[in-house]
Amino acid sequence: MRLAFYGAAGEVTGSCTLVETGEVRFLVDCGMFQGGSEARQKNVRALDFGFDVRSLDFVLLTHAHIDHSGLLPRLAMLGYRGPIYATQASVDLLEVLLPDAAHIQEKEIEWQLRHRHRRGFGERGVPAPLYTVAQAQSALRLLNPVRYGEWLRPADTVAVRFRDAGHILGSASLEIALEDGGRKRRLVFSGDLGMPGRPVLPDPEPAPAEADVLLIESTYGDRLHRSLADTEDEIVAAFERTRAAGGNLVIPAFAVGRTQEMIYMLADLVRRKRLHPLKIYVDSPMADMATRITLAHRELLDPETRELIAWQRQHPDKVSIEFVADVERSKALNAIRSGAVIVSASGMCEAGRIKYHLRENLPRSECTVLIAGFQAAGTLGRRLVDGVRLVRIFGETVPVRARIYTVGGLSAHADRDALLGWLRGFRKPPGRTFVVHGEAGASASFAAAIGSELGWPEVHLPQAGERVTL
């Protein structure tokens, strides 16, 4: 059996692992690299995948986030016609996310062309999109929904079980039983694991009892999250400061997962009278659709969230939520100078409507930007977290006078202790453990913790493009 690491090795994004035996060949995830201009070049280099995609038997998808799913349309463009297996909730989300990812690419390139034409330059040097909306929609036809907990047989020698990972709606860890030349092997992919005790989704299911090979994520493998109580205090402080100053509060948030969690958190704080009644503008058509999908899968939500949804509907005067759809209404939000709470995508501030709201509000010292999610190296969000005083948005230099709050306790990823707790679910150490999906320092720190705290041997840090025979 062989593994090849085509992404999320030594970095967080671009998850893509090829598994090969003498009988079968399949991918686990097929994600886009994210994080500024360098990520764009990585996506361009990844476009041929380094192997014949038509030889793949199937694809397994852990969840719908673009850094795990975003190159699936490219896979189909290159000739892959096999099934892509994912949970039903992930399939529903992908019907929104993949066309939206293509739309963002098309609009960004359209903007670049207009910008070059205004300056008297031609179209040379402007890249084509990784894929178009039509190509993304075509790839959706390959999706096959599966249920949590049921064994799937995508090939004669392979059985797969999807287990709830508690990260975003529909997210899964994968337990894979396969035969390799008559030898039985068990692979486990953690996928992205959620943080226990957080709102909206149940805690991650425990790890399987055993594995010959394990791939474990390490996004926050080198740190602990703040407690939920401390996080609430930070959010309240940010709101009180902004309210007293008479400004707006802008929250960059991923349309899937983080937006719904933020709505929950704010509504719950109002319900408990820790915040004044709020008017929340969710300026993201995709977040609107993702929220509708979330509400359509209430069986996947935790009981506290279902209770809060009922309370909010009974008290619209306490928490008013407007999902902003059309562009003109989105532009009109920038005329609001005080009292607005604007939640908008993208979560790393790299694309989408959030850039317009940052351009308008960052120069205003009375305003606040609340960063509540992971910011990859090279992104605008990361630069704001790092304290830069000037940024460029749509080619303009924008001063950063607004207060930047970084709230660490709302992460959809498990922290170091939660990851170690999940690993303790194995009855014995896996034969080989690969630490993936983390920046180099975080992965190295977590690999050391696995060795020192769990006593596991054979913990490996794969490099991008590395191939391992097992």
pLDDT tens-place string over residues 328-342: 999 999 999 999 999
3-state SS assignment for residue 144: strand
In this prediction, residue 174 carries a pLDDT of 98
Place of tokens 């915040």: 275
Cα separation values, 120 from 113, 115, 396, Å = 10, 9, 18
Q: What string of H, E and C letters represents the secondary structure of 251-306?
A: EECCCCCHHHHHHHHHHHHHHCCCCCCEEEEEECHHHHHHHHHHHHCHHHCCHHHH
In this prediction, residue 47 carries a pLDDT of 62
DSSP-H helix ranges across 142-280: 228-245, 258-271
Q: Is the pTM of this model over 0.85?
A: yes
Per-residue pLDDT reduced to its tens digit, 441-467: 999 999 999 999 999 998 999 999 999
| Alpha carbons 4 and 11: distance in angstroms, whole number | 15
Q: Closest Cα to residue 441, out of 12, 69, 78?
A: 12
| Residue segments in the chain with a per-residue pLDDT below the cut of 70 | 36, 47, 115-117, 119-126
Q: At 401, list the tokens.
A: 């006078």
What is the longest distance spanned by two Cα atoms in the chain? Answer: 69
Do the Cβ atoms of 467 and 440 come closer than 8 Å? no
Place of tokens 């038997």: 57
